[in-house]
Chains A and B, each alone.
Chain A
Amino acid sequence: MMNCGGIENTIIRDRKAGEAFSSPGQGAEGGLSSAPGDGAALDKPGGLCCIVGFGNARRRDDGLGPHVVGELSQVLGTGVGLQFIVREQLEPDLAEDLREADEIIMVDATVERLPDGWRKSPLKPRLDAPPYLTHSLKPEYLLGLLGWLYDRWPASWLVSIQGEDFGMGTGLSPVAQRRACQVVADLAKSVSKED
């Protein structure tokens, strides 16, 4: 898969020790060899920012989230302060991995037609009864679960990237690839500025 390139890696690499049964080095859920496993993080004063990319990389542009997070992890490196997480879908036990996050950025593909091709919008926890599938949870309900279980209410964002081709197969469509590069550049800049 083509990467975005050209973005300066400005962060010092320093891997954070994983938990007893997290899976450092296990590889990405979505099968992206370039993406880190659970627990990859980098030094970032001011709290832990978790960046979660989710989607199915075998359904072409549905893999935008995992692709962007895989690229970001390469651009920004690993250490304490940032955590990159890739999942095919959001499960309730992801709340456990997010319990120390001070900020959460979720990256997902959308079929919605967006004026700029992508959008970063604030994400609020849903506190009502969750209509969730146990193996496929909406971001708002995952945040609600995080709050209910761990009393954690981090500032959260949803980055939605418009996809074009959600058919069977791997690799992003050319238009989605360009949008992914814009998102990687913007997120890398904004996350670095927050340092």
Chain B
Amino acid sequence: MAPRKITIDPITRLEGHGKVTINLDDKGEVSDAQFHITQFRGFEVFCQGRPYEEMSIITQRICGICPVSHQLASAKAGDAILGLAIPETARLLRELLHMGQYIQSHALHFFYLASPDLLLGWDADPAIRNVVGVATKFPEAAVKGIRLRKFGQEIIKALGGKKVHPAFSVPGGVTNALSANDRDRLLTGFKEAHETCQLGLDLLKGWVSQHMDEVKVFANFSSMYAGLVDAKGRMNLYDGELRIVDAQGQKKAQFAPASYLEFIGEHVEPWSYMKFPFYKPAGYPDGLYRVGPLARLYAADGLSTPKASAELQELRKLAKNDLKGGSLLYHYARLIEELYALERAEALLKDERICGTEIKVSAPPANRQGVGMIEAPRGTLIHHYWVDEHGAMEKANLIVATGHNNLAMNRAVTLVAKEYIKGGKVAEGLLNRVEGAIRCYDPCLSCATHALGQMPLRIQITSSGGHVLDELRRD
């Protein structure tokens, strides 16, 4: 049998557009799979020449889902160029904004994007395997999920004036103080938010316990993990050093953001616009590491909030040995982080410094380059800027969470494809599971290069000569 190629295009319920090609060998077995990003954005180039102070406004336009993350990483890169520490109130307010982003983003992902696969089943009719199906079968989860996301968005709006693309974090601090009225109003929302988060955790843990066999084998592979940690080795989503651990949890490296180029390389493949970051000391592609919720929980020694810490202990008891690399555990980790973000946001709002009015410092640029690194909901986000003596952008390097996970997503797709394609025969459910494997990583393809929902799917089986042998469609 001649080598064949299977194409899945587009992938649904992702933030952006992607395509999967599965290459078969002469015997019809999967040789490899490629997750292509077919969009081109070009932000790194058209930022050139702009004042660095504008970057937090420009770069957040990369995405409508995680603009806050880009804004924060950009502002931190700007802080480094200024060479100043920002006021403590500004730091607290930025972290609060960040927690608002986590609350809305993780709620969106679990209740809108992931739950249809988990609660309705991989093989449910695509016409109902979406949020409408969840609303029909699990109305309480669907309604509460909407309200939880709204709560996160309200935090963002209270600080930045609007929910999408807020104007808030700038080099040197933030633009607005938080009023006591807004603080008190937001504090009334946590009881319900915690209840909803617990509902999600209960649903997810119930699903995991009933599908342990699938959790064990589904896109389960050994890899390194990366995430920011604080001085005590605990997960920190806003600041700290990047720690990389191996599959057993042993520390491979830990470094300040400004040193990232010593440890992280970027490889380019001709078939994708998304780059392939890798851990430099291990080379490409052996330097595969994962970022995002599960990676952060594995890289850190622990969490600083009590309820999320207790949930992490449960996850650690479960995720041992043969289960540890399972991609489906990303959903579990994401809900633990949702809980952490709620606890942190409440603690920040109860900090007496949060309504302070010293929120910004100004100075001429002290450095010709600056690196900003944060943990975006999807994983580590790096903004690195080079400026001239007037502060005009000479060059930008952006490494986004979805990019860090590029190698991992390709590995996950290959593993699922191998499970569902034998001897050239494609088993029912391949499409849904390939999408599901990618969705574990909640990729934002707009960040890495925006669409979501029920789109047509196409599998093309093509000979090595480029002839279409067969085509499966889902319109």
Binding site for B on A (CB under 8 A): 20-23, 26-27, 29, 31, 88-89, 91-93, 95-96, 127-136, 144-145, 148-150
Instruction: Specify which chain A residues have a CB less than 8 angstroms from the CB of B136 in the assembled complex.
Output: 148
Q: Is the CB of B153 within 8 A of A93?
A: yes
Q: How far is B65's CA from A135's CA once the two chains are assembled, in angstroms?
A: 7
Contact call A96/B146, Cβ cutoff below 8 A: yes
Closest B residue to A129 by beta carbon equals: B454
CB of B162 within 8 Å of the partner chain:
yes
**Contacts A130-B132, A132-B453; A88 near B158 (Cβ below 8 A):** no
Q: Other CB < 8 Å A-B pairs besides A26-B157, A92-B112, A134-B65, 16 of them?
A: A21-B151, A29-B162, A31-B161, A31-B162, A88-B165, A89-B64, A89-B164, A93-B153, A96-B150, A130-B130, A132-B452, A134-B112, A134-B452, A145-B131, A145-B135, A148-B136
One digit per residue, 1 when the CB lies within 8 angstroms of any chain A CB and 0 when it does not, for chain B 50-66 equals: 00000000000000110
Is B185 among interface residues, defined by CB-CB distance under 8 A? yes
B108 at interface by CB-CB < 8 Å: yes
Chain A contacts of B142 at CB under 8 A?
148-149
A88 touches B146 (CB 8 A): no
Q: Contact string, B138-153, partner A, CB cutoff 8 A, digits 1/0?
A: 0100110011011101
Query: Which residues of chain A are near B131, meaning CB under 8 Å?
Result: 92, 130, 145, 148
The distance in angstroms between the C-alpha atoms of A191 and B142, with both chains bound, is: 33
In the assembled complex, the CB of B171 is this many whole angstroms from the nearest CB of chain A, namely 22
Report A-chain residues with C-beta under 8 Å of the C-beta of B151.
21
Chain B residues whose C-beta falls within 8 Å of the C-beta of A145 in the assembled complex: 131-132, 135
Question: Contact: B453 with A149, CB < 8 Å?
Answer: no
Contacts of A129 in B (CB 8 A): 126-128, 130, 132, 453-454
Q: Using CB atoms, name the residue of chain A closest to B63.
A: A135
Count B-side interface residues using an 8 Å CB cutoff. Answer: 41
For A135, the closest partner residue in chain B by CB is B64
Q: What B residues does A150 contact at CB under 8 A?
A: 143
Q: Are B127 and A21 in contact (CB under 8 A)?
A: no
CB <8 Å contact, A23 and B154: yes
Query: Which one of B15, B132, B147, B150 lies within 8 Å of A134 (CB-CB)?
Result: B15
Q: Chain A nearest CB: distance from B15 CB in Å?
A: 7
CA distance in complex: A106, B23 (Å): 48
A26 proximity list for chain B (CB < 8 A): 157-158, 161
A-B contact pairs, 23 of them (CB 8 A): A21-B154, A21-B186, A23-B154, A23-B157, A26-B157, A29-B157, A88-B162, A88-B165, A89-B164, A91-B163, A93-B149, A95-B146, A131-B451, A131-B453, A131-B455, A133-B451, A133-B452, A134-B15, A134-B112, A134-B113, A148-B131, A148-B132, A150-B143
Residues of B with C-beta under 8 A to A96: 143, 146-147, 150
Would you call B188 an interface residue if the criterion is a C-beta within 8 Å of the partner chain's C-beta atoms? yes
**Is the pair A130, B146 in contact by a Cβ cutoff of 8 Å?**
no
| Contacting residues, chain B, for A136 (C-beta < 8 A) | 64, 450
Q: Is the CB of A149 within 8 A of B146?
A: yes
Interface pair A21/B65, CB less than 8 Å apart:
no
- Residue among A21, A144, A149 facing the most chain B CB atoms (10 A cut-off): A21
CA–CA, A129 to B134, complex, Å? 12
Bound CA–CA A161/B139 (angstroms): 36
Bitwise, B180-210 to A at CB < 8 A (1) or not (0) is 0000011011000000000000000000000
- Asked if residues A20 and B189 are in contact (CB atoms below 8 Å), the reply is yes
The distance from the CB of B434 to the nearest CB of chain A, in whole angstroms, is 19
How long is the Cα–Cα vector from A48 to B185 in the complex, in angstroms? Answer: 24
Chain B positions within 8 Å of A95 at CB level: 146
Q: Residue on A with the closest CB to B126?
A: A129
Given A23-B154, A88-B164, A149-B143: A131 and B454 interface contact (C-beta under 8 Å):
yes
Chain A neighbourhood of B135, CB < 8 A: 145, 148-149
Kindly state the separation between the CA atoms of A132 and B188 in the bound complex, as whole angstroms: 31
Q: How far is the CB of B466 from chain A (nearest CB, A)?
A: 30
Check B158 against A135 for contact (C-beta < 8 Å).
Answer: no
The 3 residue pairs across chains A and B that have the minimum distance between CB atoms: A129-B454, A93-B150, A131-B453
**B454 touching A130, Cβ below 8 Å:** yes
Alpha-carbon distance A23/B157, docked complex (angstroms): 8
User: Do A27 and B161 contact each other (CB < 8 Å), given the known contacts A128-B127, A129-B130, A129-B132?
Assistant: yes
Give the interface centre of B15, B154, B450 by most chain A CB atoms within 10 Å: B154
Q: How far is the CB of A24 from chain B (nearest CB, A)?
A: 9
Q: How far, in angstroms, from A148 to B130 measured CA to CA in the complex?
A: 12
Q: Which residue of A lies closest to B132 (CB)?
A: A148
**Neighbour of B188 across the interface among A20, A127, A135, CB < 8 A:** A20
Cα A20 to Cα B186 in complex, Å, equals: 8
Q: A129-B127, A149-B135 are in contact. Are A134 and B162 (CB under 8 A)?
A: no
> Quick check: B185 and A21 within 8 Å, CB to CB?
yes
The residue on A at minimum CB distance from B148 is A93
Closest residue of B by beta carbon distance from A28: B162
How far is B430's CA from A94's CA once the two chains are assembled, in angstroms? 35
| B224 CB → nearest A CB, Å | 30
Contact of B163 among A29, A31, A127 (CB under 8 A): A29
Which residues from chain B contact A29 at a C-beta distance below 8 Å? 157, 162-163
A-contact 0/1 string along B417-430, CB 8 Å cutoff: 00000000000000
